[in-house]
Structures are given as structure tokens and as C-alpha cells.
Amino acid sequence: MATTGASVQLIRNATILLDVGDTTFLVDPMFTLQGEMPTVTDNPAAPEFLTTANQDRNPLVPLPDGDLTYDAVVVTHRHPDHWDEAAREELDADVPLFCQPEESDAFTDEGFTDVRPVDDETSFEDITVHRTPGQHGHGELAEGMGPVSGFVFEGDETVYVAGDTIWYEPVEETLDQYEPDLVVLNGGEAQFDQGEPITMGVEDVDAVREATDAEIVVVHMEAINHCLLSRDELRAETANVHVPEDGERFSLFQRYVFSPV
């Protein structure tokens, strides 16, 4: 296991700043102010048959204070809690933007001029970026959620950002293939009234913990109305994983979570 370099700062939900070597990636930017986005099921893109018990407007919490500095943007998929209108308006049009091939035209149509779809792997500065599979739920519901991806970043250390996925065989295969030093999981056990969870819950996180010696950071919690698993519940039910608060950062070098100054 490496002991230096890579770190992840949770901004809110799945929005993170990921440092690998001297390069910083902004992953899944969602900048909407608290309460200014519909509930998940009220979003026009949501299937009509889905309902949720919690009808609070999103995001449930504000953005933490502080400016964001980064070299490139990575979008795992275009669901509105990972890519929103506020991000489209705030980001520079010429920022390097890595995405799934299926969604590259949508970013270009929005005016971004340096869209870089990742079919298998690519490079940026001194980092190799691999796109990895994900499954956003179970059965027909997962199919309806559309394509999702994770990404592996290889520099002096290797970081695996799993994206919106449950635990399934390709996640285990990704861990075996890349042997990451740091894994970022989307928790929250997001769930509708219909079907099984569509992001990781306690059992999924435990399965990842059993499958790797990497440090594990769990994000995507307590910010969107269908994410029903709390941080305290996850901390109580799992061991040897890091569950940061919004604005906090975990570093492989320090091996602890700390608040930005």
C-alpha cells in the first residue's frame, strides 16, 4: 500500500475533489443551492412509476464554504445529483471534461469545447484514467437508470471512484485488476418505494471492505431525498471505512479525515 499523495475531499453528495499526484479532478459537480432542486421523483427525467417516502426538496444540505480549484472535471453519469444546471453555468467552457462515451454529445451541445469521452482508458498530465463498469441498482430498475461508470486514476497511487453502483462482480474484478490504494464509494443506499437500493448500503460496503486492503471513503450520503442510510448508521454498522462530513478531506499521507482551513 502507498503512503503518500492521493487525497479526496468531499464537497457534498458525490461531488469530490480528488488529488492524484499534482493533478486535481473535480468529480460529479452538483452546485445547486439547498432546496432549489425537485425531489428525485419530481424530476422530469425520472420514470413516472417511481415514488419516494421522503419528499423534501434537494439538495437537503448547503454547499460547504470555500473555493474549488481543479485541473479537470470527471462526470460519472448525467443524473442531476451528479451534473446539474448550476455546474453547467459555473464551469469554464474549455475545462477538460471526462465522461462516458454515450454522454459526450450532450456536453458538447451544452457548449463545452474540451469534452473527452473515455471508452477504455486515456491520460491527463501524468495520470492514466480508466473507465470502469457500474450497475445502478438491480434488475429492470438498473436498466432504466441508464449507463453509469466508475473511474480508476493511476499515478504514484491508484484511486478507484466506483460511481453510482451496487456491489456486483465487475466491481470485485476492478478491485482485483487495479489493486487501488484508495477507493471512493457512493453510499446512502439510495432507494425508491419500488425495487431494491440503487447505491451501496452496509452490505455492499462490507463486501468491498472484504475484497480489498485499500483505504475506503464513503460519500453520497445525507444530501439527496432518496438516500436513506445515514452516516451514523453506516459508521455503526461497518469497520475500517472513512465516512467524511461535507467539506472534509481524507489523505493517504495523514491517514485521517480533517476539515479544510
- R_g over Cα of the chain: 17
pLDDT at 260 over 60: no
Cβ atoms of residues 175 and 215 within 8 Å: no
164 class by beta-carbon count within 10 Å (0-12 exposed, 13-18 middle, 19+ buried): buried
47-93, pLDDT tens digit by residue? 666 777 677 899 999 999 999 999 999 999 999 999 999 999 999 99
Distances from the Cα of 142 to the Cαs of 93, 204, 241, in angstroms? 32, 16, 26
79 class by beta-carbon count within 10 Å (0-12 exposed, 13-18 middle, 19+ buried): buried
Q: Which pLDDT score, from 0 to 100, does residue 259 have?
A: 54
89-134, pLDDT tens digit by residue? 999 999 999 999 999 999 999 999 999 999 999 999 999 999 999 9
> Residues 6 or more apart from 1 whose CB is under 8 A from it?
181, 213, 214, 215
Cell of 50: 417511481
pLDDT at 138 over 70: yes
pLDDT at 2 over 60: no
Spatial CA neighbour of 244 closest among 35, 7, 45:
7
Q: Which pLDDT score, from 0 to 100, does residue 47 have?
A: 63
Q: Which pLDDT score, from 0 to 100, does residue 49 have?
A: 60
CA–CA separation, 137 vs 151, rounded Å?
Answer: 18
The mean of the pLDDT values for the chain is 92
Using left for φ > 0, alpha for ψ between -120 and 50, and beta otherwise, residue 131 falls in beta
